[in-house]
């Protein structure tokens, strides 16, 4: 009984040292598990753990990731600038395409245009610097880097176009292919080919075009034409 009284007094003593604003207190439960608990959740058997100074270890604020505070613009001028920035972003072709269809090949095309515009702007900046007798070496380096970026993206775009073939699974291709098959059947009928012969021919035809080998051969033919 005496030991329990000492433990309880120690518990109350440490509890009194918990600073205001502490959300949770670090304890060791009766089962030996260490965890943070709110003051109202503490049990008499919980041992309040302390730091090297003998003070209770506490957690200030709510557990979990600290929430970010969203700060507004400092004044009306900055507010107007941010408004104009958002308006510019809303009409930017590259950003719009990247959001709507990130896999679209047109994204790279717009990147090339954007880099080209920046390279042209740097060229004008260099011309103005030359006209006023200012140093232009730094500007030239920036333009060289911009032109290199244009070339790199252009090569990727060219590779993209070379690899892009006809999508055999697309609805457009299937519609065209179906129209060709129907036209072939009508031509055979009009030239007097018997119905059972037509069915036999197209049964074999369907068997061939559904094989992976046929699809692979078609893709190779398309890529060969595009080169």
Look at residue 224 and tell me whether its pLDDT is greater than 70. Answer: no
Dist. CA 118–CA 112, nearest whole Å: 10
DSSP secondary structure, 46-69, as one string: PEEPB-TTSPBPEEES-SSSPPPP
Alpha helices, H only, 35-170: 76-90, 93-100, 106-131, 137-163
Q: Are 119 and 146 in contact (CB under 8 A)?
A: yes
Other beta carbons within 10 Å of 9: 10
Residue 152 or residue 70, greater confidence: 152
Q: Which pair of tokens denotes residue 11?
A: 């518990």
Most confident of 91-95, 124-128, 197-201: 124-128
CB atoms inside a 10 Å sphere around CB 196: 8
- Report the distance separating Cα 163 and Cα 3, nearest Å: 81
- CA angle 99/103/108 to nearest 5° reads 85
List pLDDT tens digits, range 24-77: 888 888 888 888 888 888 888 888 898 888 888 988 765 555 555 566 677 888
CB neighbour class for 131 (10 Å; exposed up to 12, middle 13-18, buried from 19): exposed
pLDDT at residue number 32? 84
Q: List, for residues 125-139, the tens digit of each pLDDT value.
A: 989 999 899 988 898
Overall average pLDDT of the 210-219 stretch: 82
200 or 172, greater pLDDT: 200
Cα 60 from Cα 23, distance rounded (Å) = 5
- Helices 93-100/106-131 angle, 10° precision: 160
Integer angstrom CA distances of residue 165 from 107, 170, 171, 182, 208: 18, 11, 15, 24, 21
Q: Which residue's entry shows tokens 């990731």?
A: 65
Examine the pLDDT at 116 and tell me if it is beyond 60: yes
Average pLDDT, whole number, for the chain? 81
Q: What is the mean pLDDT of residues 71-89?
A: 81
DSSP annotation of 165 reads: -
Q: How confident is the model at residue 124, as a pLDDT?
A: 92
Domain ranges across the chain: 2-60, 76-163, 171-226
Burial of 219 (0-12, 13-18, 19+ CB in 10 A): middle
Q: What's the mean pLDDT in 86-96?
A: 80
Question: pTM for the complete prediction?
Answer: 0.40
Residue 161 pLDDT grade (very low, low, confident, very high; cuts 50, 70, 90): low
In this prediction, residue 212 has a pLDDT band, given cuts at 50, 70 and 90, of: confident
Q: Return the pLDDT at 68.
A: 56
Token pair in block for residue 218: 């078609």
The pLDDT of residue 128 is: 92
Would you state the pLDDT for residue 1? Answer: 46
The two tokens of residue 69 are 């505070």
Q: Percent of the chain scored above 70 by pLDDT?
A: 85
């Amino acid at each position: 009984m005496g030991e329990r009284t000492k433990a309880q007094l120690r518990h109350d003593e440490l509890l009194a040292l918990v600073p205001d604003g502490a959300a949770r207190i670090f304890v060791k439960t009766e089962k030996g598990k260490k965890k943070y608990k709110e003051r109202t959740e503490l049990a008499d058997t919980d041992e309040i753990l302390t730091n090297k100074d003998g003070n209770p270890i506490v957690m200030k604020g709510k557990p979990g990731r600290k929430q970010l505070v969203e700060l507004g613009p400092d004044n009306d001028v900055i507010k107007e600038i941010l408004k104009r920035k958002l308006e510019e972003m809303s009409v930017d072709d590259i950003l719009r395409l990247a959001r709507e269809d990130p896999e679209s090949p047109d994204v790279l095309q717009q990147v090339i245009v954007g880099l080209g515009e920046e390279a042209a702007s740097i060229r004008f900046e260099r011309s103005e610097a030359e006209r006023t007798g200012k140093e232009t070496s730094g500007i030239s380096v920036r333009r060289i880097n911009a032109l290199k970026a244009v070339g790199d993206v252009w090569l990727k775009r060219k590779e993209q176009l070379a690899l892009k073939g006809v999508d055999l699974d697309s609805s457009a291709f299937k519609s065209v292919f179906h129209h060709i098959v129907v036209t072939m059947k009508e031509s055979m009928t009009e030239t007097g080919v018997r119905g059972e012969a037509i069915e036999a021919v197209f049964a074999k035809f369907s068997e061939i075009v559904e094989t992976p080998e046929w699809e692979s051969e078609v893709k190779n033919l398309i890529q060969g034409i595009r080169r």
